[in-house]
Amino acid sequence: MKSTIIVPLLALLALATTSAQAAPGRSGQMIVELNDDTDWETAIGELEKILSSAGMQDVRSRVSRVGVGSGFRALTISDAGKDLRAKIQAAAPIRRVEPELEWKLFDTQQSAPPGLDRLDSRRGLDGSYTFPANAGSGVDVYVIDSGCDTRHPDIAGRATFLTDFSGENSARDSNGHGSHVTGTILGRRFGVAKNAQAFCIKVFDASGRGSSVTTLRALELVSRQVASRPGRKSVVNMSLGGPKSFGGDTSTARAIRSLTQQGVAVVVAAGNESQDACNVSPAFIPEAITVGAIDPRNDAIASFSNFGSCVDLFAPGVNIESIRANSQGSTVLSGTSMASPHVAGAVAVLLSQGQTPQQARTTLINNATPNVVRGNIRGSPNRLLFLGASAQQQQRSQRF
């Protein structure tokens, strides 16, 4: 069962199979998490002994460091072989050893678009979206996804591409998923927080393939960026993921926990397999705000949406119009990938109004519209994202 810890996180979109199995990452890496009191060199030296005794040559060239905030440090090892996992796990400086897992973006579908207006109304669509004039001002939103089209007119001037961990070595969003998500968070036409700044980190290639290792590297980059931009408030959106493995205290969970301790809100998607979100990572992580999807036209839970006690909120995720990458136009997609950025944008709005991440999470949960989500929500809290009250608190507002 998901804890009720009030620490906001941007929701990830996690793709998991009902058997909770995942394909290994393409690079065959191993994630070796260090104990809190172990320094890097001690751990690398211990690994060098183990791997050299097994016949591996040039060990140090195969080892890379990953650190998120002050609460998570790990080493990744390429081509170590799963038969060495038990030996590495037994080493004194090691907390946990995990194989790299392949993560994917959720499949999406196209249809007619709804609007943003479900966010500020208690009783269905009313044809408008009212938002604060300063919605998202002073807030950085980190979008860990397939990249984003920084030239698209809906986000141009407020979106920056940081780096590509996908292996494509390109700033181009050749998949389009990340651009659509970014537009929903802060686009001029399609976005919730229309004054926020986006920083896009590419971890998925054109086919929507990534891994747990590339995601950890993205979280590490977010941590460094946040530290380099004092005074800015920060949110992470992760519309991605994979099956939960190795119990609840995975490397991804600990990395996200460390990031929230750094003062970053993290929002994640519940997943698109119509299964218990508690089986999906990072949807199961209590420090994250986990978002399921509804159809804003009738408030029915989406047929694909994951459910259960690990879901914190529902938000629009069916027939969502947002920007189309590598064009000046738009496209319509469905998925909890589309629901999560609505909540990430809402968090950005609340942060721009002076709330802390913890206060923003509390506001969204306590002010959500209760008992309007229709259909079999199977143990999920019946809470629908509502942003109207916070918008109305502003003396100046705009109509869209």
In the set 239, 337, 380, 390, the catalytic residue is: 337
37 as an active site residue: the answer is: no
CATH number of 117-399: 3.40.50.200
Q: Give span(s): CATH 3.30.70, the chain.
A: 30-99
Would the pLDDT of 112 be above 70? no
More confident residue, 79 or 209: 209
Would the pLDDT of 397 be above 50? no
Query: Are 289 and 11 in contact, with CB atoms under 8 Å apart?
Result: yes
In the set 145, 164, 205, 299, the catalytic residue is: 145
152 as an active site residue: the answer is: no
The pLDDT tens digits for 87-103 are 888 876 888 888 887 77
Q: Which of 61, 128, 125, 50 shows the shortest CA–CA distance to 91?
A: 50
Pairing of strands 72-77, 63-68: antiparallel
In the set 152, 177, 180, 342, the catalytic residue is: 177
Would the pLDDT of 15 be above 60? no
pLDDT-wise least confident of 278-282, 323-327, 346-350, 392-396: 392-396
Which residue type, as a one-letter code, is found at position 285? Answer: I
Please state the φ and ψ torsions of residue 190, each to the nearest 5 degrees: -105, -5
Q: Is 30-99 in CATH node 3.30.870?
A: no
Q: Which of 281, 286, 317 shows the shortest CA–CA distance to 301?
A: 317
pTM: 0.82
Would the pLDDT of 201 be above 80? yes
pLDDT band at 192 (very low <50, low <70, confident <90, very high): very high
The pLDDT tens digits for 140-149 are 999 999 999 9
337 as an active site residue: the answer is: yes
The confidence score (pLDDT) of residue 14 equals 31
Q: Give span(s): CATH 3.40.50.200, the chain.
A: 117-399
Would the pLDDT of 107 be above 50? no
**Which residues, listed in sequence order, are joined to residue 330 by a DSSP beta bridge?**
323
